[in-house]
Structure 1
Amino acid sequence: MVLKPENITNNQDYTTIAEIGIKDKGLSISCTLEEVIRTAQKEASSLGANAIIVKKIKSPDAWSTCYRILADAVYLRDVQKYQSLIIWDKERKLVVADFKADTANRPFEAATYSGFNIIPVAGTLKELPKLIVETSFDSNRSYLKQRGNVSFVLKHEQLHFDLSEIYARKFVERMRNASLTVKNVSERGNEIFKQIQIEMQNMNDLYDTEVYADTTLQTRWDNKIKIMLSETVPFEDKSISIRR
């Protein structure tokens, strides 16, 4: 998890393990802010931390073409308290506490805000540039009213999250088949992304329409989405290489 000092509401909520500084190592090419933070996350994880608190960010300047950060690798006692984005994982199912948005004046029993992000990774002398696709659930925008059959509603919302992962994989599949180069990746990527977003929204709408009208159809959708996840397993590693 990546946090800022102002995100911490109580200093007793964590233990600092180490201070991490990610700097320009000379002739660095892969050093965008996203990549530098990822490097810090990996280093913190190897130390037994489950979060980093980014204290300082230095943008590229006359001294370096890289982003540089200073962060504390920490162990949070209650990860869920601070978790705002949940990355999709087949072993990690949504729980009630993941829905943190206010439920006042909300029209439905629950709403899941999930989708996928595309993170560019610059190439090196030995490696091609690539895109990393991540499926995430936004806790701060998702809500669930704790009344009635909560377990049923929770399961229903989990499948919306699963659909986001399925269409992220479909995006990866189409991108890999698009003969991407540095010159055409933006144009082709945008076209594929827009089409996938339309298909994903249509599938989510169909899911809600059918189950809202007849809750007994939930089991049919459970099986349908389980099959879709199985069919897209070849694209579970959501990385896309780009030719120069």
Structure 2
Amino acid sequence: MYPTIIRLSFMILYFVLPAGECHAQDTLWWKKEERLRWEDFQGFPDTTEVFEALTYAGISFSYSYTGNSFTFKAATYFNRAKSWRLPIADSGKLRHEQLHFDITEIFTRRLIVQLGQLKPEKASVQQTISALLKDVLAEKDRFQHYYDQETHYGTRPAEQKKWEKRVADLLQTD
């Protein structure tokens, strides 16, 4: 619905996908106890790019408004078929990519909290949700960009370690 594309040293795509448009065999849903593996990156590498990996992660979102009842679902996913890596990508790069997936989960949770606080009017529900999604996605994009800048795309081990702790802490509190 609202595509947001960030092009970095690793190309990362984020967007909001209506629920039900993910193919089960290509989709990993974010779970605390599960970590990405290079085997999950099943797409074909774009060898014309300078990127070592591409993570295709996003937020699956749907809602309904019936009578005076507003309900919604949101979840973070990783698309295996559209995510890829080059053979030179190492375990440090995988940890960096995992954090991008984890950061997307943080913002999915923030979206859920903000949606839970909404009391939208039927006439303006689409505009209200659209504005909220736009704000959350913009905040997520800034956060992802800052992460890449500070870690220099995962090539600064000390900074990467600080971000791993920061993201783990946020996942505990959000």
User: Same fold by TM (over 0.5)?
Assistant: yes
State how far apart, in whole Å, the 2-side matches of 1:133 and 1:229 are. 16
* Residue 167 of structure 2 is aligned to residue 221 of structure 1: no
Point out 4+ residue stretches in structure 1 off by more than 3 angstroms. 121-124
State how far apart, in whole Å, the 2-side matches of 1:88 and 1:205 are. 21
Kept in 1: contact 2:65–2:122 (CA 8 A): no
State how far apart, in whole Å, the 2-side matches of 1:83 and 1:96 are. 16
State how far apart, in whole Å, the 2-side matches of 1:122 and 1:94 are. 35
RMSD of the TM alignment (CA)? 2.5
Gaps of 5+ in 1: 1-32, 35-50, 52-81, 233-244
Shift of 1:122: 6.3
Q: 1:177 to 1:120 in 2, by over 3 A?
A: closer
Bigger radius of gyration among the two: 1
What does 1:17-36 align with in structure 2 at a 5 Å threshold?
none
State the structure with bigger RCO (CA 8 A, min sep 6), 1 or 2: 2
* Residue 53 of structure 2 is aligned to residue 113 of structure 1: no
Residue-pair matches, total: 152
Gaps of 5+ in 2: 1-18
Answer with 190-199 or 108-117: which moved more.
108-117
2:81 corresponds in structure 1 to 140
Identity %: 25
* Residue 72 of structure 2 is aligned to residue 131 of structure 1: yes
What does 1:35-184 align with in structure 2 at a 5 Å threshold?
83-103=25-45, 104-121=47-64, 123=66, 128-147=69-88, 150-184=90-124
* Residue 136 of structure 2 is aligned to residue 196 of structure 1: yes
Query: Under a length normalisation based on structure 2, what TM-score does the superposition of the two structures give?
Result: 0.77
Query: Under a length normalisation based on structure 1, what TM-score does the superposition of the two structures give?
Result: 0.56
Kept in 2: contact 1:159–1:225 (CA 8 A): yes
